[in-house]
Chain A
Amino acid sequence: MRRSSNSIVMIAYAIWVLFPFLYLLVLSLSADWRFPSILPNYIGLKNWAAVLGGETGLVKSFFLSLFISLLVALSSTLCGFLLSRIVNYNKKKNLWTIISYFPYVLAPVVFGACLSYYFLRLGILGTTFGVILAQFFIAFPYAMIFFSPFWTEKTKDYENLVATLRGSLVQKFTKVLFPLSKNLILICFFQTFLISWFEFGLSSIIGVGKVQTLTIQVFLFIKESNFYYGAMSCCLLMLPPVIFIYVNKRYVFNKIL
Chain B
Amino acid sequence: MLRFVGFVLLLLSLSACKREKAVQNIDLLATDWKEIELQAKGSTVHFMMWQGSPAINSYMNDFLIPKVKELYDIELKLVGGQGPEIVQLVMSEKQAGSNSGQVDMSWINGETFFQLRQIKGLWGPFVESLPNSQLIDFENPHISIDFQQPINYMECPWSITQFAMVHDLKKTPNPPANLSDLEVWIAENPGQFTISNDFSGMTLLKSFFAEISGDKDGLNGAFDEQKYNRLSGQLWKWINRNKKNFWKEGETFPKEQTKMDQLYANGELSLCYGFGEGSIDDKIRQGLFPNTTRVYPWKNGTIRNSNYLGIHYNASNKAGAMVVINYMISPEAQLRKIDPSGMDANTVLDIDKLSDDWKVKFENREKRKYGATIEELAAYAIQEPDPQYMIRLYEDFRKEVIEK
Contact = CB atoms under 8 A, between A and B. Distances in A.
A199 to B, nearest CB: 15
Nearest to B82: A209
B46 interface: yes
A212 B261 contact: no
Contact of A113 (B77, B88, B96, B283): B88
A184 to B, nearest CB: 30
Given A51-B54, A121-B16, A208-B103, A226 B288 contact: yes
Given A50-B54, A223-B52, A224-B52, A120 B92 contact: yes
Interface stretch (B148-156, B262-270, B332-340): B262-270
A33 B287 CA distance: 8
Interface string B226-259: 0000000000000000000000000000001111
Given A34-B267, A228-B286, A228-B287, 10 more contacts: A35-B267, A46-B287, A54-B61, A55-B61, A57-B61, A220-B80, A225-B283, A226-B283, A226-B288, A229-B54
Interface in A6-51: 30-36, 42, 46-47, 50-51
A54 B63 CA distance: 11
A34 B266 contact: yes
Contacts of B102: 125-126, 208, 210
B290 interface: yes
Contacts of B256: 223
Interface residues of A, number: 41
A137 interface: no
B24 to A, nearest CB: 17
A222 to B, nearest CB: 9
Nearest to B58: A54
A227 interface: yes
Nearest to B66: A56
A245 B65 CA distance: 38
Given A34-B290, A50-B54, A223-B258, A208 B79 contact: yes
Nearest to A56: B61
A209 B258 contact: no
Interface residues of B, number: 40
A62 interface: no
Contacts of A47: 286
A73 interface: no
B343 to A, nearest CB: 12
23 contacts: A31-B288, A33-B287, A34-B267, A35-B267, A47-B286, A54-B57, A54-B61, A54-B62, A56-B62, A116-B92, A117-B16, A205-B88, A208-B79, A208-B102, A209-B79, A210-B77, A212-B80, A217-B80, A224-B54, A225-B265, A227-B262, A227-B265, A228-B288
A55 B286 CA distance: 16
A216 interface: yes
Given A216-B80, A228-B286, A34 B16 contact: no
Nearest to A127: B102
B81 interface: yes
B51 A220 contact: yes
Contacts of A126: 102
B288 A209 contact: no
B286 A31 contact: yes
B98 interface: yes
A216 B80 CA distance: 9
A221 interface: yes
B93 A224 contact: no
B268 A32 contact: no
B116 to A, nearest CB: 16
A50 to B, nearest CB: 6
B92 A226 contact: no
A47 B265 CA distance: 16
B57 A34 contact: no
B95 interface: yes
Nearest to B88: A113
Contact of B261 (A50, A57, A225): A225
B135 interface: no
Interface in B120-140: none
Interface in A219-247: 220-221, 223-229
A90 to B, nearest CB: 13
A220 B52 contact: yes
Pairs A-B, 7 closest by C-beta atoms: A31-B287, A225-B261, A35-B267, A209-B80, A209-B79, A54-B58, A225-B258
Nearest to B268: A35
Contacts of B390: none
Nearest to B100: A123
A226 B52 CA distance: 10
Interface in B86-107: 88-89, 92-93, 95-96, 98, 102-103
B174 interface: no
A94 to B, nearest CB: 14
B54 A54 contact: yes
